[in-house]
Amino acid sequence: MNSLILVILSIAGYLLAYRYYGRFIGRKILKISGLQKMPAHELEDGVDYVPTKPHIVFGHHFTTIAGLGPIVGPAIGIIWGWLPAFLWVFMGSIFMGAVHDFTTLVVSARNRGRSIGQMTGDIIGPSTRYALQFIMQLLLFIVLAVFAMIVSSLFVMYPESVIPVWFQIPVAVWLGWQIRKGKNDLLYSVIALLLLYAFVLLGILVPVSLPWDRQTSVVVWCVLLFIYVFIASTLPVQKLLQPRDYINSHQLMAAMLFLILGVVIARPEMSAPAINHAAYQPGSDVPDLAPLLFIVIACGAISGFHSLASSGTTVKQLDREADALPVGYGSMILESFLAVLVLVAVGAGLGMGLNDGGELFTGLAAFEHHYASWSSANGLAAKLDAFIVGAANLFSSFGLPVKYGAAFVVVFIVSFANTTLDSATRIQRISLQEIFTGKDGKVRRPFHNRYVATLVIVLAAAAMTFYKPGGQGAMVLWPLFGSLNQLMAALALGVVTVYMASRKLPVLYTLLPMAAVLILTLWAMGENLAGFIRSGELLLAFISALILILTGWLTGTSISALFRKRF
């Protein structure tokens, strides 16, 4: 199949889904009106609750959810063939992921901007609140600890990314200052974007490598990143978080447009097989497609982290309830399209040329060389290399040298990994403060102070990261992340479903996605638990068993509340 046809069909499908299904969910199911007062106005504090223009909130939410997930997931999920990966990304996002993001955002807005964890106590029952918040904290803890190591490793792997990524910070602060002065945000964001591209060129010319070995360099970068996220997540959102995410969203959209342009000009065939039969043969080290495909490809289809972003930071900036459709449903659809472009870059762009040790592979040979086995395609470097090479090949079709195209893609990858890092820190701080909020609505000391709450979070993540040499400590918990993330999506949809039942709203459109994701996730977690026990990973086995027990309790309580409030 030609990649251009796949891209055109995807664009048409996503536009139709937004126009008809997204609006249907908003108007007929959620019954959105302009009468609901938003938490950003009701609780405005100039730090977290700040009414914001919809396109700026869109930029924040889009870049928060579009980290490494829609890149590394499809880049490994294509090993089963581009067709199953594409169908899960396309159908999953329209009927599950976008509905998940949209509904959690709206329900949180109708509950004074509370997180999905705190709403659980109000909607399902007080006893369930801490169970879900424990799962939330564990998920965010893993994100913060692991992403600090990942971004640090990317700085070491790609020293040309250091200058442009770090110089985004002063550029974002300057942009935020101009917007607060009432300047034209679109004009100044374009200027900021051009500045970022200038720094990309500077980074290529002046790559920055620390004067130590790899392990020590990763540790130093981790320390600097933890200092940065502490500052970034305690500053008022309009001073750094909003403008940084806004220009990053433009950077991502520009990258997506360049990928589309490359596809239009080159029109490469999908050299990757639609169904990779080698992955299904006896003796292959590739795991079974189900349930792993639905865990590996998360952010491009559905991701529990998105509900934490929707109900953690995004809802506190929403100016009108009507803005939830483009911000919630629209952002997820656009992220899913990014995942499709990643599939095209890997499935077609990689076939335009893969140079390995002086030997050039093209077409199907390039795919088979990179995806010769599960172990060869696994790991961060292998996943990213497939996308970087494929994207750079597509860029070369309109005259951009492969060297500069690869650097452009690298900066865009590291930038979005870094964006997820500081957003996750703010979300976790807000969630931690909610845990220590009493019935009077006041946060207990000392966590009422955002600096103290953030410091506790950052120090805990740093301790985990530095538990092993080279910042590898967080990888101890990494095997839990995929299933935990998808479990969070199912539980969030469960909370939304009970809320809608209590308001006598139709529940089928959230209940069915919840059931599907829950079944697939419990299947994967059961297999993981058995594997942890066999390999003697007692800590992972204990945490997995605890999560499964909490999930069973939450599910049972949710079903009971659903029937009680519905009938």
pLDDT at 476: 85
- The distance of Cα 177 from the centroid of its chain, to the nearest Å, equals 27
pLDDT at 179: 87
- The pair phi, psi for residue 51, each rounded to 5°, is -60, 130
pLDDT at 11: 97
Which residue type occupies 5? I
What are the CA-CA distances from residue 426 to residues 170, 309, 386, 469, 512 (Å)?
A: 19, 10, 32, 27, 31
Classify 3-271+286-566 by CATH class: mainly alpha
Domain range list for the chain: 3-271+286-566
Which neighbouring-strand residues pair with 284? none
Q: In sequence order, which residues have a C-beta less than 8 Å from that of residue 374 and are 6 or more positions away? A: 79, 284, 285, 286, 287
One digit per residue, the tens of pLDDT, for the chain of length 567 reads 899 999 999 999 999 999 999 999 999 999 998 778 899 999 998 888 999 999 999 999 998 898 788 998 999 999 999 999 999 999 999 999 999 999 999 999 999 998 898 888 888 888 788 888 889 999 999 989 988 998 898 899 889 889 999 999 999 999 989 888 888 888 888 899 899 889 988 998 899 999 999 889 999 999 999 999 999 999 998 888 888 888 888 888 999 999 999 999 999 999 999 999 988 988 888 899 999 999 999 989 999 999 999 998 899 999 999 999 999 999 999 999 999 999 999 999 998 988 877 788 899 999 998 898 888 777 777 778 899 999 999 999 999 888 888 888 888 888 878 888 888 899 999 889 988 887 777 888 888 899 999 999 999 999 999 988 878 887 888 888 899 999 999 999 999 999 999 999 999 999 999 999 999 999 999 999 999 999 999 989 999 999 999 999 999 888 888 888 766
In angstroms, the CA 171 to CA 194 distance is: 10
The dihedral built from the CA positions of residue 331, 334, 338 and 339, taken in this order, carries a sign that is positive
In angstroms, the CA 563 to CA 482 distance is: 30
pLDDT at 181: 86
pLDDT at 567: 60
In angstroms, the CA 525 to CA 530 distance is: 9
pLDDT at 566: 66
Report yes or no: 176 and 240 within 8 Å, Cβ to Cβ: yes
Please, what is the Cα angle at 382 between 376 and 385, to 5 degrees?
140
pLDDT at 478: 85
The predicted model scores a pTM of: 0.94
Residue written as token pair 């590394």: 72
- The pair phi, psi for residue 391, each rounded to 5°, is -65, -45
Which neighbouring-strand residues pair with 360? 355
Cis peptide before 446 (omega within 30 of 0): yes
In angstroms, the CA 152 to CA 162 distance is: 10
pLDDT at 412: 82
